[in-house]
Chain A
Amino acid sequence: MKENRVLLVIRYILLIIASLVVLFPILYSLLISLETSNHVSTYPPQLWPHPFHFASYAEALQAAPLGRFLLNSFIMSAIIVCGQIVTSLLAAYAFVYLRFRGRDVMFLVFLATMMIPTEVTMIPNYMTIRALGWLDTFAGLTVPFLANAFGIFLLRQYLLQLPYELFEAAKMDGASQWRFLISVVVPLSRPILATLAVYVFLQSWNMYLWPLLTTNSTSMRTVQVGLGMLQNQDALSWNLTMAGVVIISLPTLILLFFAQKHLVKGLTAGAVKG
């Protein structure tokens, strides 16, 4: 018994140390963001801000149009989330409830897209977007991501678990496919749709390479790319830069706190993609 308690204490101590180490970069950026520029540039570095200098945030918002970047990121992520929910739901529905020739082959073809990393296709995709005249537009930012095999796969797995009798009953009642989809499947799929939405929002919000390639004007930049505008300022403005880091990380950190279950589920199911 006594030995067990000692082990438990050791486990707690190790957990506290591990948590502090893992959390440190986030805490560090938060603390630096609350310092004054003069305070930041002293050596040895001082970690605790005194007094707390909230003005860094106002200054950061002035130094770069972070408000506009935030708006762009929100619009972009919202479009991608909605698009993926619609395309995934439709395709998953067909794979579960409709019988047609070549269904299994088609499903494999869809799954095969998971093996194609975006870094490999970025050159032709950039050219396609440019040819369509979509550089620097929300269309260019979002359309390539409106369908994803992961969402289809996730929803298909879920729909397969629903009782098939529901479908037969609806058919007996003479309900059309669309009616069954909207009034039965969608309400029943709410939990998995939430998981997909949270997961896709995180992925889109944190996207870096594609927005960097396809946006040029300040008014179309997303937060992830726009953050760079803060670090190119003069060397003494680390507090502004870190305020920017905190601002752009806040939406996804909030998501982690309130929707951790969904996020974890999405990530572990999405692990297949790598």
Chain B
Amino acid sequence: MQTAVSNTTIPMPPRRRTKEVMAFLQASPFLLPALLLFTVFFFYPIVKVVYLSLYLTNSKGVAKHFVGMQQYVELFTSPDFIQSLRVTLEFVLLTVIPGVFIALLLALLLEKQIRGLSVFQTIIFSPISMSVAAVSTIGLMAFNPSVSLLNWILSKLFGIPNINWLNGSWTALLAISIVTIWMNLGFSTIVLLGALRNVSQELYDSARVDGANYLQRLCYITIPSISPTLFFVFVVSMIGSFQTFGQVNILTQGGPAGSTNLVVYSIYRNAFFNFQYGLASAQAVVLFIIVLVLTLLQFLVVERRVHYS
């Protein structure tokens, strides 16, 4: 393959160049539709969002006054944004760790090929088909103290007094986390189940010969063997949690007192209710960097895994 440098210094023989132009022309109708859409709706907006974050905008979102990094400085000194970041991090911890743990347990239950497995599998996968709006609306009823079956069960079983979930700061975050964990269960379970079924049967057999019990096999064979997938599910769940919006909008609108004001919801409010497009763009850039770092982390680890094997 020719490099770009040689292309600029030594002119290509004319016949070859025509051939290349022809090849390019031939490929362009295949690539143009996607390329055009990606340019307009992915690459341009990324540049635009960075640009907007450096400007003060009018209420229509037109950049008016260059302020440089000022809005970033403002963000990281504003108690609201700090709270929003803190709450988002708490939310990520509250959803990712229990979510992956429960999904692992479910995947372990589904691992063995037993009679009727497909029925259980369909049921346990079912959350993947549910939308955030539907699940959050069910949550709205489940966490409403005047009709809450959940509260009734908690009071009958553990004597816990009626909780007004969505009006308490940490219970509201907990409620949103529960909804989110349930929503993501199907997906994480599917991915982990796929990994479990790929673990070498020979390893298990030899461990059995050595007299290892289930727990030992789990700790010394299963978990290490699926650790790349576990890591992957962790990262993907984290990214998903950072992108959470619907649950907040439907269940709490960020309240009470900003205790569920997750980053995306905060961007939405700042842009479309307070018309501070510049500030909201700065928040979006921060979100982008977080997601980018997580994605690159995932790629790096996958890369390493490939090199190992």
Chain A contacts to B: CB under 8 angstroms:
8, 11-12, 14-15, 18-19, 22-23, 25-26, 28-29, 32, 40-41, 43-45, 47, 86-88, 90-91, 93-94, 98-101, 103, 106, 109-110, 113, 115-117, 119-128, 143-144, 146-147, 149, 152, 177, 202, 205-206, 208-209, 212-213, 223-225, 227-228, 231, 235, 238, 241-242, 244-245, 248-249, 252-253, 255-257, 260, 263-264, 267-268, 271, 274
Contacts and interface: CB of A to CB of B under 8 A. Distances in A.
By Cβ-Cβ distance, the 6 closest A-B pairs, closest first, are A124-B45, A94-B30, A206-B131, A121-B45, A147-B37, A124-B48
Given A15-B109, A90-B30, A119-B245, A242 B114 contact: no
A255 B245 contact: no
A149 B37 CA distance: 11
B254 to A, nearest CB: 14
Contacts of A225: 133
B87 interface: no
A255 to B, nearest CB: 6
A91 B24 CA distance: 13
Contact of B23 (A43, A99, A241): A99
A245 B291 contact: no
A110 B272 contact: no
Contacts, number: 256
Q: Chain B interface residue count: which class? A: 35 or more
Given A110-B38, A117-B291, A14 B30 contact: no
A22 B46 contact: no
B129 A202 contact: yes
A267 B112 CA distance: 22
A101 B194 CA distance: 38
A252 B235 CA distance: 26
A227 B42 contact: no
A62 to B, nearest CB: 18
Given A125-B41, A128-B41, A274-B236, A242 B141 contact: yes
B52 interface: yes
Interface string B103-121: 0011001101010000010
Contact of B277 (A22, A123, A125): A123
Contacts of A209: 245-246, 264, 268
Interface string B236-257: 1001100101100110000000
A99 B1 CA distance: 12
Contact of A100 (B27, B268, B272, B285): B27
27 contacts: A29-B134, A29-B141, A32-B141, A41-B147, A43-B147, A43-B152, A47-B149, A88-B34, A94-B30, A101-B24, A106-B31, A119-B243, A119-B264, A121-B49, A123-B52, A124-B48, A144-B37, A147-B37, A208-B133, A224-B134, A225-B133, A231-B137, A235-B146, A238-B141, A245-B137, A271-B187, A274-B240
